[in-house]
């Protein structure tokens, strides 16, 4: 019987080259919709769109789906749900409802396998307190699964990419390296322990981290994004671009999944390679180990949250995250954009 990942063109490769072209198409669709109730849309490359209903209530909407990155259907469903929900958390929102999106081959895995994918997703939604309202399925040779998620947020408490401030501290939750570990597993290079820690990371909701950050004094968090297909550097670039700043990371402080550095040194992931081409205004210091630089460009699935926050709130956030069992680290700071126009500096 075919494995689930056999139904994917490139398992573990969340290369976003296509998305880059789509962004250009979106830009060509000017004039964009003009409506003062649009608080956030695609123009700031944010995690989700935000639309104001009333003075104290706004809608957060996102959609995310991808091909199988693991062979266990229940895990695949869980990861797809955790990943889709994450974009709402990354805006500071509370996810409430979801719609499933599935592409399934005519002659695909047996119904009980498909059922497990949906069950994994539903269980993860339930854990997040999100209800499934419906969905849509199409026939496709490649399996794809995910959700459109709708959440709620106060219009004054949206974490957009555009508001990172020079002087902010950068805090990252979860460890980097899911792309490298998934890919190494596909070719039989990873150990069971490495694989299990990557899976444990991918099925973990960003719910706790987001809730703690949202509970900080109003205005403490200036920007937030989750780390997914563009990798740490790609998503940091989006924040820097939108906010007119430079994000400076200290390589030695970055949390890495167990074994990820060794696997990265041995295997260049294909998504990572296309991501390398994508970043021009990024500098990597001479002392940064190449495998760490690679992990910073590694496409992540259901990665952590990157918070840009006021220095006086950073210690409190770290303490609360640690107390709640969330893996997190202070990984750098936000600087004013220099004359060199660099967006992300890794040193
Ligand atoms: Co995102
Ligand atoms: Co997304
Ligand atoms: Co955001």
* Residues whose Cβ atom is located within 5 A of ion ligand 1: 47, 87, 226
Percentage of the chain modeled with pLDDT above 90 = 80
Distance 95 CA to ligand 1 centre (A): 14
Q: Are 120 and 75 in contact (CB under 8 A)?
A: yes
Predicted local distance difference test score (pLDDT) of residue 267: 64
What CATH number is given for 169-346 in this structure?
A: 3.90.650.10
The pTM of the full predicted model, rounded to 2 decimals, is 0.91
Predicted local distance difference test score (pLDDT) of residue 263: 93
Which numbered ligand comes closest to the C-alpha of 239? 3
Predicted local distance difference test score (pLDDT) of residue 42: 81
Average pLDDT over residues 241-263: 96
Residue 19 has pLDDT above 60, yes or no: no
The domain locations on the chain are 4-156, 169-346
Average pLDDT over residues 39-50: 87
10, 13, 224, 270: the active-site residue: 13
For residue range 208-244, list pLDDT tens digits in order.
Answer: 999 999 999 999 999 999 999 999 999 999 999 999 9
- What are the Cα distances from residue 291, in Å, to 85, 304, 339? 29, 19, 29
DSSP strand pairing (282-284 vs 169-173): unpaired
Predicted local distance difference test score (pLDDT) of residue 64: 95
- b/e for 112-130, b at 16 or more Cβ within 10 A? ebbebbbebbbebbeebeb
State the fold for domain 4-156: 60s Ribosomal Protein L30; Chain: A; (3.30.1330)
| 270 is known as an active-site residue | no
pLDDT band at 292 (very low <50, low <70, confident <90, very high): very high
- What are the Cα distances from residue 160, in Å, to 88, 154, 240? 11, 13, 11
Predicted local distance difference test score (pLDDT) of residue 14: 46
Distance 160 CA to ligand 1 centre (A): 11
Distance 48 CA to ligand 1 centre (A): 7
The three-state DSSP-derived secondary structure of 22-88 is HHHHHHHCCCCCCCCCEEECHHHCCCCEEEEEECCEEEEEEEEEECCCCCCHHHHHHHHHHHHHHHH
Predicted local distance difference test score (pLDDT) of residue 16: 45
């Amino acid at each position: 019987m075919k494995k689930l990942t056999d139904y994917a063109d490139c398992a573990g490769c969340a290369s976003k080259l296509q998305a880059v072209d789509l962004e250009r198409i979106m830009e060509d669709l000017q004039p964009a919709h003009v409506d003062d109730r649009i608080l956030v849309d695609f123009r700031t490359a944010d995690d989700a769109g935000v639309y104001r209903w009333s003075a104290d209530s706004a809608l957060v909407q996102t959609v995310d789906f991808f091909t199988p990155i693991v062979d266990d259907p229940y895990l695949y469903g869980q990861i797809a749900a955790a990943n889709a929900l994450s974009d709402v958390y990354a805006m500071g929102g509370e996810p409430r409802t979801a719609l499933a999106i599935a592409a399934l081959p005519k002659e695909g895995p047996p119904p009980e396998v498909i059922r497990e994918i949906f069950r994994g997703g539903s269980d993860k939604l339930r854990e997040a307190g999100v209800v499934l309202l419906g969905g849509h399925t199409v026939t496709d040779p490649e399996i794809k699964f995910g959700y459109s998620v709708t959440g709620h947020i106060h219009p004054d408490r949206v974490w957009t990419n555009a508001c990172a401030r020079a002087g902010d501290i950068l805090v990252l939750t979860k460890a980097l390296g899911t792309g490298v570990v998934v890919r190494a597993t596909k070719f039989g290079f990873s150990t069971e322990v490495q694989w299990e820690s990557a899976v444990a990371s991918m099925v973990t909701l960003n719910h706790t981290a987001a809730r703690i950050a949202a509970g900080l004094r109003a205005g403490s968090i200036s920007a937030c994004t989750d780390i997914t297909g563009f990798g740490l550097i790609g998503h940091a670039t989006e924040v820097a671009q939108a906010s007119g700043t430079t994000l400076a990371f200290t390589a030695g402080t970055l949390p890495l999944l167990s074994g990820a550095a060794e696997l990265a040194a041995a295997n260049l992931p294909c998504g990572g390679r296309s991501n390398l081409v994508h970043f021009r205004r990024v500098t990597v210091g001479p002392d940064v180990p190449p495998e760490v630089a690679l992990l910073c460009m590694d496409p992540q699935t259901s990665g952590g949250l990157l918070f840009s926050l006021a220095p006086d709130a950073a210690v409190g956030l770290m303490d609360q995250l640690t107390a709640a069992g969330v893996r997190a680290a202070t990984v750098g700071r936000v600087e004013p954009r220099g004359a060199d126009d660099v967006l992300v500096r890794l040193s």
